[in-house]
Amino acid sequence: MKRLSFVAALLLLLLLPALASPITLAWNPSPTPGVTYNLYRATGTGPFVIVTNTAQTTVTISMLPALSSFYVTAATSINPTNESLPSNTATTPPLASAVQQVSLTFGSVALPPPPPPPPPPATNTGTRSFTNSTPITIPDSGASTPYPSTITVNGLSGTLTNVSVTIFGFGHTCPNDVDILLVGPSGDKAMIMSDVGASIDVNNITFTLSDLSTTTLPSATILINNMVYQPTDYAPTEVLPAPAPAGPYTSALSVFTNKVYNGVWSLYVFDDGPGDLGSLARGWSLTLNTK
């Protein structure tokens, strides 16, 4: 009798389905506050069977078959259309970790996606050079032709942080006669070169004027090809005739930084010593740095 009871108990144990230890699920909260989540499960695609409901975003479920995969869905209790889409698959222990994160997508509950941000304004910053290669002819005395030579800058953005000027193909038999004034679209002005290079002939040289250089233009020695010079005015009381703006002038190109830079830049080249003449045979360029 006792032996039969033991066999019967053993058979009963074998017939019972193996149950997993409890599984804890966690999910993202609904964007609608104060909702109740109804937890369903189904192996495969359904039918869904309600397991429990909760106002929390975690729930621990017991008495599930071991090693089974199932889906979970959460429905808010506000109205039936607020039900979320089925989650990703959860698996009962022991294959899974103690807490499984499931992703719930709340269909009609989800807030509408925010409109895409407006595209940022197009930017055009960095180092840009603009060239006017038309020759500038310097007479033996007086205003050059053209007077001024101009460069129009368009489409740059950002703040102007540095300006430099390159003179292409400069030739003169007395550079000391030559004054060069730069005027920006803001109306600011800089005498970037005046009374330099003595009376020493130069022919077809190219050089750059930049505040970043520590080498001033020479007053008594020859101008050197391919140099970068600091703008230098050895006759700061001199004023150029109209249409150049009235003085006094600074010489540093920093007068243009943080100012308006899109627009017309004018280069006034003037010879104030009788005799001797020359040209900027290949014009000039303007290099602007914006950021």
Range 111-140, binding Ca ion (CB under 5 A): 140
Nearer of residues 185 and 273 to Ca ion, judged by Cβ: 273
Q: Which amino acid belongs to residue 193?
A: M
Stretch that binds Ca ion, among 52-60, 71-79, 109-117, 172-180 (CB under 5 A): 172-180
Interface size with Ca ion, residues (CB under 5 A): 12
Q: Contact with Ca ion (CB under 5 A): which of 86, 182, 276, 282?
A: 276
Look up residue 227 and give its two tokens: 């140099």
Using a 10 angstrom Cβ sphere, with 0-12 exposed, 13-18 middle and 19 or more buried, the burial of residue 81 is exposed
Q: Which is nearer to Ca ion, 103 or 216 (CB)?
A: 216
Query: Whole-number minimum distance, CB 248 to Ca ion, in Å?
Result: 14
Pick one of 37, 92, 181, 195: the residue that binds Ca ion (CB under 5 A): 195
Residue number with CB closer to Ca ion (105 or 145)? 145
Of the candidates 75, 271, 281, 289, which one interacts with Ca ion according to CB under 5 A? 271
Please provide the DSSP assignment of 70-113 as one string: EEEEEE-SS-GGGBEEP---EE-TTSS-SEEEE--EETTTSPPP
How many angstroms separate the CA atoms of 178 and 170, rounded? 11
Close Cβ partners of 2 (under 8 Å, ≥ 6 residues apart)? none
Question: By rule CB under 5 A, what string of x and - marks binding of each residue 199-238 to Ca ion?
Answer: ------------------------------------x--x
Which burial class, exposed, middle or buried, applies to 87 when counting CB atoms under 10 A from its CB (0-12, 13-18, 19+)?
A: buried
Calpha distance 93→238 (Å, rounded): 92
Among 236, 238, 213, CA closest to 163: 213
| Residue 265: strand pairing partners | 151
Shortest distance, position 270 Cβ to Ca ion, whole Å: 8
Minimal distance in Å, beta carbon 189 to Ca ion? 15
Calpha distance 210→283 (Å, rounded)? 17
Choose which of 160, 169, 177, 284 interacts with Ca ion (CB under 5 A).
Answer: 177
179 binds Ca ion (CB under 5 A): yes
| Partners of 41 in the β-ladder | 49, 72
CB-nearer residue toward Ca ion: 110 or 235: 235
Which residue, 37 or 268, is less far from Ca ion as judged by CB?
268
Least Cβ distance, residue 139 to Ca ion (angstroms): 8
Q: Which residue is nearest to Ca ion (CB)?
A: 177
Would you mind telling me the total number of residues written for the chain in this entry? 291
Give 201 or 238: the residue with its C-beta nearer to Ca ion. 238
Q: Which is nearer to Ca ion, 186 or 238 (CB)?
A: 238
Least separation in angstroms between CB 222 and Ca ion:
17
Residue 240, class by beta-carbon neighbours within 10 Å (0-12 exposed, 13-18 middle, 19+ buried)?
A: buried
- Binding-site ranges for Ca ion (CB under 5 A): 140-141, 177, 179, 194-195, 235, 238, 271-273, 276
